[in-house]
Structure formats: C-alpha cells, structure tokens
Structure 1
Amino acid sequence: MPRAVILTNPASGKGRGVRRRDEALPQFRAAGWEVEAHHGLDADASLALAHEVVATRPDVLVMCGGDGMVNLGLQAAAGTDVPIGVLPAGTGNDFARCFGLPLRDGAAAARRIVHGRERSVDLARIGERWYGGVLAAGFDAVVNERANKMTWPRGQARYNLATLAELRVFEPLRYTLVLDGAERELDAMLVAIGNGPSFGGGLRIAHGAELDDGLLDVVLIKPVSRLELVRTFPKLYHGSHVNHPQYERHRVRKVTIASPGIVGYADGERFGPLPLSVECVAGAVRVRA
C-alpha cells in the first residue's frame, strides 16, 4: 500500500490549507493509499517535521499551503529519492503553476498526485538553502521588505500599498553580476534569477524558464521611468515584457549578484542581503504531479 504524508500550513489562505487538505484526504484513501496528516506550529517546526517525514521514506511528501510551505518541503526532499506533491492553498502558488495543478480544488490536485508521474526537476541553491521559483532582487524585493515592516493592512492590500509607496521614490539600482565567471556592472530596476518562470502569483518575470534544463534564467529590467515601470507591470502576466527594449536575459549555471542594501526573496521567503551566489542543481528533487 503506497503511503502519503501531508504537511499542512493551517494559516495558508485564511484557512484554505485545512480545507484543501480535507478535500484531498478522501481521494488518497479511495485510491488505496495509506495517508497521514500533520502540521507544525510554525515554520521551524514544519521544517523539522518535513525532515523527519523524509527520513521515513514515504511514497510522497505532500505540502499543503503556499509557496513558502512548498519551499520547506524542498529543503527536506532535495537530494533524496522522496518525491514531493503539492496541494496549492496559498496566495501565489507559483510552484504549483509550473505543473498546471488545480489551484482551487484540493480533490483534483490530490488526484494529480495519486495518478501522476514522478518528474525530476532542477532547483536553485544558495548555500545550503534551495528554491524552486524565482529570486527577486530589485524593485520587487524592496517592496517585499517594506511590506514586511507594515502591520496594516493585511493580505495583498499591504503589498499594493508598499508598491505605491516605493514607486514614488524608487531609483535604478547599481548591480555587480558574475555570470558563469564573467563579471559585469550595470544599473537596473530589478534583477530576477529564475529556476521557474513566475513569482507573485503568476507574474512571469522569467518567462521561458524551464524546470529541467540545468540552467538559471537571469532577467534584467534596465532603467526605465517610474511611469514606464507601471505600464510594463501588467505585461508580466503574459510574458510579453520580453519584447521591451530594456529587457535582457542570460541563461547560466551559476550567478553571483550584489547590490548595496538589497535583500533577496525567493519562493516568498527572505533569503538575506546581497551578495548572494546562486547555482542550478539539475534534477535536485522529484515531483509527483
């Protein structure tokens, strides 16, 4: 009998995590799976629990929550033969989008895990930490920093206000990049390092990035006016920003990025101040979808 262990973030999506888990459980049982359900009290407890679960070698470790919860699962499963599955229940769900998973139906997502194939995909590694999506290290990261310091309002509205506040004062940033050993200095509005194509709930900043090509997509948006930045933003949902004259893309195995005062975010998590060195690890994790 195959065994699945579901780890849930009960705070995801104002309770959506619990609802998605409860929708999924009958699907596993009906298909003859043994299934366990757990949750940690906080991120540290959930990470420790994920490592404990992987050590028991289940047939799949299922992460129920948003991109941050999936990121915890990646830390535990990367480099092992234990595949992860995803029950999307967050705001962005960008890792789940890479596999075309149903975002609002826990039962349908569970069936994709039960009947799906395993696929080896790449991950990006910074030191001993992994991410599956995109590292934000520019205007988008500055917005994240501002939003995280705000206590009001809650949810997406907080990020909208932080975006408006930053737009009033933001200036191009000075970057030093080392792209597969070649150093370059430039000014840009943002630099994003994609293992996958999207962040922020479907913003395809690294449009064209593939999860199994062994490469990172380094995307630059070179200096534009604040008004032009606002005009360009909606194009990210379709990937049509790639036609903008200030867009630039490099595909590399390793990149080091530095910019004074900027903090990098990936999979919705704070990875720390630049400089950061990012490398692509081919086939680092197995995903059942």
Structure 2
Amino acid sequence: TTTAYSLAGTGIPVMPFPAGTANLLALNLAAPNEPHALAKMLRAGITLDFDMAEIEFHADDGESAKKGFGIMAGAGYDATIMKGAQPSKRLLGPMAYFSAALANPLPPTSKITLTLDGETVEEEGLGILIVNFSKIQFDISVTNKNSPRDGLLDIVVLKAENAFGLLPALFARAIDHEGNFKDSPETIETFQAREVIVEADPPMQIQYDGEVAKATTPFAARILPSAARFVVSEECVELFGAEGDAKLAPWTDREA
C-alpha cells in the first residue's frame, strides 16, 4: 500500500505480493498465492485502476502526518485489535487478530462526531472504520458491497455495546455471500462520503492498514479516485471491471 500511495496518479502498475500476515490487498484483488500463478499473472500484465485513500492526523509529537491506505483506516476497537495482534502475528498468522478481539471483549465507547462532505452526524460506538476495500480476515466483508472503484469512502460505525454483540454481526457477513446481510442500527451503521472528519470523546487511537499510529482522534480522510493501478487476475477483472476498463502493463505488447 505504501508503494501504491507513493505512485498514486502516475499510472505505474503495482503487483502486490502476498508475503505478509493477512495479505488483505491480495485477498481483495482475488490474486493467487502460488508463485507460478503470480508469475503468470505478472507476464499477462492485465491492470485495473482502483481508488486509494489518504488519512491526515496530528501525531503525539505534535507533527502533522499524512498517510495513504488501500484497505481501511479507523479508530477505536479496530486499532486495539491491531495493536493486540502484533506480538503473536508470526506464531498465529491471521488468527492473531481474532485472538486479540476476544482478549478485548469490553472496549470503551466514545461519542463520535462525523463530518461527511460537510454534513455533521453524531453517533456513539466502540470504533469507526473508513473503508476502501472491505474484505478482512476470514472472508468477512465489513460493508455489504466491496466497492473500491466508486470514488467514495464507506464509513462504518461499530455501535455494539461490546465485542460479543459486534462479532456475530461481522461473522454473519462471512457466511452470507449473496450480499443479503442487513445492518442492524444497534450494531453497525454505514455512511458514504468523499471526505470525512472524525472526532471522538474520549479520543480513540488511530490505525491505517494495520499500522497503529502514535496518535488519537481527530483525523481526516479522503478518497483518491482511480489513483492506484494494480496488476490483477482475470477473476479480479470479472469482479470489479467493466468493459474496456482493463489495460495492459507497459511490458506487454498485446491489445487488451
């Protein structure tokens, strides 16, 4: 994601290599894990443009920081999970996140104020997610649709009183592959915007694409439409592409 953000808007293709703990970007792009299949995909050189996002906040040292993210950023419970998973990621892999969630079943809530493209909304919850790609571990989608090419951020407020109320709702999404899962206003509420400012009382710790920042709310986030060009599989084109969207990387000489 850091590389894609650095190259945002240049049209230079990037192929994510799934060598991390959860490999969420590769998962969302329907990329293969096997090296020969990855090499074949790279040689084919099919590319699609996807949205990126940008988060801006003030670090604990007072300096302003601006970071890019491709999957999601947020504050509160998700940042707690990311931080709690760090020590056991090598040993447990993706299960480290589930273990961290269960180890923090009663996270504090905050009064959350959202400014969505200039309109103010007030909520209360365990945390908030700013979503571009929506799939996380265990094939869970935190929004009803995975829409990383629509020029909008999905803003998800986690409103359950505790993790025991929230986790069943998230896992319901994992088993409902038809997109029929309906948000419960007592558990999850979703908004959309191009830009969002997030404030919380008490403040919540911030994370972006799994990196826990040395900072707390407030923060701002905005969408960067079609800013990242990824080398993708044919399955990814079927999932996200429209006719004529796919391009070829410069190392190929075929017509798309």
TM-score over 0.5 (shorter chain): yes
The Cα shift of 1:99 comes to 1.9
Show CA shifts across 1:98-136 (max 9, x none): 22111x312112212221422111100124421111113
Residue of structure 1 aligned with 2:17, choices 87, 105, 111: 87
Q: RMSD value over aligned CA atoms?
A: 2.5
- Which residue in the other structure is 1:237 paired with? 174
Match of 1:171 in 2: 108
Unaligned runs of 5+ in 1: 1-70
Q: Equivalent residue for 1:192?
A: 129
Q: Distance in 2 between matches of 1:212 and 1:276?
A: 23
Unaligned regions of 5+ residues in structure 2, if any? 57-65, 233-256
Q: Aligned in 2, Cα 1:265/1:110: closer, same or farther, shift over 3 Å? A: farther
CA distance in 1, matches of 2:89, 2:190: 36
Task: Give the 3 Å change call, closer, same or farther, for CA 151–275 of structure 1 in structure 2.
Answer: same
Letter in 1 for 2:7: A
Gap change, CA 1:220 and 1:132, over 3 Å in 2: same
CA distance in 1, matches of 2:19, 2:98: 21
Q: Does 1:137 align with 2:75?
A: yes
Counterpart in 1 of 2:204? 262
SS, match of residue 133 in structure 2? coil
Aligned residues between the structures: 216
**Structure 1 counterpart of 2:154, one-letter code:** D
Structure 1 residues 109 and 257: alpha-carbon distance in aligned structure 2, compared to 1, 3 A threshold: same
Pairing partner for 1:253 from 188, 194, 197? 194
Which structure has more relative contact order (CA 8 Å, sep 6+)? It is: 2
| Counterpart residue type for residue 252 of structure 1 | A
Residues 70 and 209, structure 2, Cα contact 8 Å, conserved in 1: yes
2:153 matched residue in structure 1: 216
Larger relative helix fraction: 1
Summarize the Cα distance change of 1:285–1:199 in structure 2 as closer, same or farther, 3 Å threshold. Answer: same
Measured in 2, the distance between the counterparts of 1:165 and 1:153 equals 18
The letter for the 2-side match of 1:132 is G
For residues 184 and 175 of structure 2, the distance between their equivalents in structure 1, rounded to whole angstroms, comes to 13
Q: Which amino acid aligns with 2:50?
A: V
Note the C-alpha offset of 1:154.
4.0
Partners of 2:190 and 2:157 in 1: CA distance: 6
The Cα offsets for residues 240-284 of structure 1, whole Å up to 9 and x where unpaired, read as 654434332111100111223422222222244221100001111
